[in-house]
Amino acid sequence: MPDSSAQDLFVETFCDLPLHPASLADAHPHPCRATALVPPPASTALPVVAADDEQRCQALLDVLQNQTITSVLQPIVSLRDGAVFGYEALGRGPAGTPLENPEALIQRALENGRMLELEHLFRRSALRAARQMPTGIRLFLNVNPNIIQDSHFGMGFTKEYLTRFAISAEDIVFEITERESVVNLRGFKQIIEHYKGQNYQISIDDAGAGYSGLNLISDVQPHFIKLDMQLIRGVDKDLTRQALIKSMQEFAALTNTRIIAEGIETEEELATLISFDVPYGQGYFLRRPDPTPRAVDPLALQVIHRENKIKNRFFGARVHKFHVRHICRPGTVVPPHMPIRSVVDLFEKNSKLNGLCVVMGEIPVGALTRNRLHEQLSGRFGFSLFADKAVEAVMDRSFLCVDHQCTIDLVARQAMRRDDAKLYDFVTVTREGRYQGVVTVKELLEKSIELEVANARQLNPLSELPGNALIDIELERLVRLGLPRIVLYFDIDNFKAYNDKYGFKNGDRALKRLSSIIKESASEDDFVGHIGGDDFIAVTDTQAAPSVCETIISAFNDSVPAFYSADDVQRGYIEGKSRSNIEERFPLMSLTIVGVKASNFQSSFDLARAAATLKKQCKRISGSNYQLEA
């Protein structure tokens, strides 16, 4: 953000843009106006209704004329390290009035055709609040999808204004709410593409709150999708919501979109979202809106760090990183003195109940399964002998009990070592010795398989290197911690021409060879990933980067002739068609490497964008070469 004096000048210039109220009245059929009072029959209450309308209309006019709009900032937080990614500016009406609530204020403005004026005041207030934000932090601005098409809206976001006052377009995100229908879809899409071309970013707000959301997402192709808080509420207990969020995450990964979960209000919701790899979150548990930009709440930050430590996040991590507490559930518990007769009733009333835990105080002292109970009560006088005795007389005292921090692979091994008669009994989970819940062998095996499959899906199937999801995690970690590491991007030149002539099978051979060369040249501490196609990435020590690049280029150049026929190698080129379907000569494959320093960027998105720019420059040079950021 610019210095204070530049900001003052910007806000004053920006906020003094003409609104042309007369044209607004022409554009909207119901401008806010005093309601004409017609004498009604004595038996009706119409004069009261009309008076109320007039008062409500006057209240809106007072807000617009007196400009009594304020903004609060709510942080959008990385759920991987707790850093603030951006702030959403939330407009508020006059405190202590019915119009303080922004939804009521917006609804009143829409009803009376004064939405553009209100949007203008919201933007002014948001920019004033944003003065306090650190450089490089994104500002999320709520925008009505029909207002964004108005020419007066665009006057406040021209590239010239932002350049003049040192505000980066990349730091502004327009939040388009899904709840509003788009009147002119074609014009709306053109406007969105225009702003994207100016490097503004787009977010779809309240995704999941309406029925047209998927169409809007498809049309807009946003940078961010904000999941509506109704999807997040109670997600830790609702399997349907969990399935929907997992599906949205998969969609986001395929479309290079980032998910933001709104309305996080409990520790359990936050932990569940982290386990699903949702990258960003927002809500009262993380931090309530505030007039000044605030960091994440310390308690929430502690939860984020804790959950990320135990989560299956990084390449090679599998079930030995996942704690059993994430899948244990509340079971049925009974006190040791409960009569067996009552326990029998419990099993008879619930056909799905296969076992229960016997707990004294909060300490588990035994377990009882349906099969064990039947064995104890079988026989001619079994029930008569035991019916009035306490459950402690028949419970299993040598049951398997584990701490909630045990990993599921360890728990599964312990469960499978039991006698055949107890092999599939449930496992009791405790926390500091107190009863926490139960988990079955079936649930242990299902979660183990799920984690292994999820890990495999995050690897590129061709190279078996970490794919985009793990690459994104690594890059976010680097930039957030400001680590002194350099990120190398690899791209094979003329690979498409080679693929077209020699076929995909040989093209895959070349990709596998390059992946092997990069892995062999990198050290054990280096991260190596496969973005897709002929694009690879490596994170290495800054000082070692030149040597690594030279080693990789040398080895790749030595391997190239083996992929061509002798005649093509002798000529030094192959013939084929360009992307424009024009016959051309293409040199043999070469390798371009560019490197950017992670500590120079505020986000992985900015880092990747800088690398792409550098790669375009470097690819203009013929043959294999590398270029590292100074």
Q: Tell which wins on pLDDT, 460 or 253.
A: 460
Q: Is the pLDDT of residue 204 over 80?
A: yes
Q: Which long-range contacts (CB under 8 A, 24 or more apart) does 99-102 make?
A: 99/59, 99/60, 99/63
Mean pLDDT of the chain: 81
Confidence of residue 379 (pLDDT cuts 50, 70, 90): low
| Contact yes or no for 227/245 (Cβ under 8 A) | yes
| Contact yes or no for 85/171 (Cβ under 8 A) | no
Q: Tell which wins on pLDDT, 332 or 24.
A: 332
| Contact yes or no for 340/372 (Cβ under 8 A) | no
Confidence of residue 4 (pLDDT cuts 50, 70, 90): very low
What pLDDT does 45 receive?
43
Q: Which long-range contacts (CB under 8 A, 24 or more apart) does 19-26 make?
A: 19/116, 19/117, 19/120, 19/152, 20/152, 21/117, 24/113, 24/114, 24/116, 24/117, 25/113
Q: Is the pLDDT of residue 390 over 80?
A: yes
What pLDDT does 372 receive?
86
What pLDDT does 75 receive?
95
Cα–Cα dist 521/550, whole Å: 10
**Stretch 134-158: mean pLDDT:** 73
Q: Where are the beta strands (DSSP E) in 19-161?
A: 70-78, 84-92, 138-143
Q: Tell which wins on pLDDT, 154 or 337.
A: 337
Cα–Cα dist 94/112, whole Å: 18
Q: Tell which wins on pLDDT, 173 or 134.
A: 173
Q: Is the pLDDT of residue 6 over 70?
A: no
Cα–Cα dist 587/568, whole Å: 9
Confidence of residue 154 (pLDDT cuts 50, 70, 90): low
Cβ neighbors of 205 (< 8 A, separation 6 or more) are 142, 175, 176, 177, 178, 226
**Stretch 125-135: mean pLDDT:** 79
Q: Tell which wins on pLDDT, 117 or 53.
A: 117
Q: What is the pTM of this model?
A: 0.51
Please report, rounded to a whole number, the percentage of residues in the chain having pLDDT higher than 70. Answer: 82
What pLDDT does 498 receive?
94
Q: Where are the beta strands (DSSP E) in 228-354?
A: 258-261, 280-281, 333-334
- List 72's β-bridge partners, or say none: 90
215-251 pLDDT tens trace: 777 778 888 999 988 889 999 888 788 888 888 887 8
Q: Tell which wins on pLDDT, 535 or 105.
A: 535
Rounded to the nearest 10 degrees, the angle between the axes of helix 340-349 and helix 370-377 is 130
What pLDDT does 569 receive?
95
36-50 pLDDT tens trace: 333 334 444 444 445
| Contact yes or no for 590/495 (Cβ under 8 A) | no
Q: Tell which wins on pLDDT, 334 or 186.
A: 334
What pLDDT does 20 receive?
41
34-38, 253-257, 573-577, 598-602, range with the lowest pLDDT: 34-38
Q: Is the pLDDT of residue 553 over 60?
A: yes
What pLDDT does 160 receive?
62
Q: Tell which wins on pLDDT, 604 or 269.
A: 269
**Stretch 365-387: mean pLDDT:** 81
Q: Is the pLDDT of residue 13 over 50?
A: no
Cα–Cα dist 336/526, whole Å: 56
Residue 372 CA, distance from chain mean position: 47
Helix (H, G, I), strand (E, B) or coil at 77: strand
Cα–Cα dist 549/540, whole Å: 10
Q: Is the pLDDT of residue 565 over 90?
A: yes
What pLDDT does 491 receive?
94
Please report, rounded to a whole number, the percentage of residues in the chain having pLDDT higher than 90. Answer: 32
What pLDDT does 16 receive?
44
Confidence of residue 367 (pLDDT cuts 50, 70, 90): very high
Q: Is the pLDDT of residue 17 over 50?
A: no
Q: Is the pLDDT of residue 422 over 70?
A: yes
511-524 pLDDT tens trace: 999 999 999 999 88
What pLDDT does 99 receive?
79
Q: Is the pLDDT of residue 528 over 90?
A: yes
| Contact yes or no for 195/157 (Cβ under 8 A) | yes
Q: Is the pLDDT of residue 131 over 50?
A: yes
What pLDDT does 310 receive?
58
For the chain, state the CA radius of gyration.
31
62-74 pLDDT tens trace: 778 787 888 899 9
Q: Tell which wins on pLDDT, 212 or 465.
A: 465
What pLDDT does 572 receive?
93
Q: Tell which wins on pLDDT, 160 or 360.
A: 360
Q: Is the pLDDT of residue 3 over 90?
A: no
Q: Is the pLDDT of residue 376 over 50?
A: yes
Tell the residue number behind the tokens 């993380």, with chain if given.
286
In sign, the C-alpha dihedral spanning 433, 434, 436, 438 is: positive
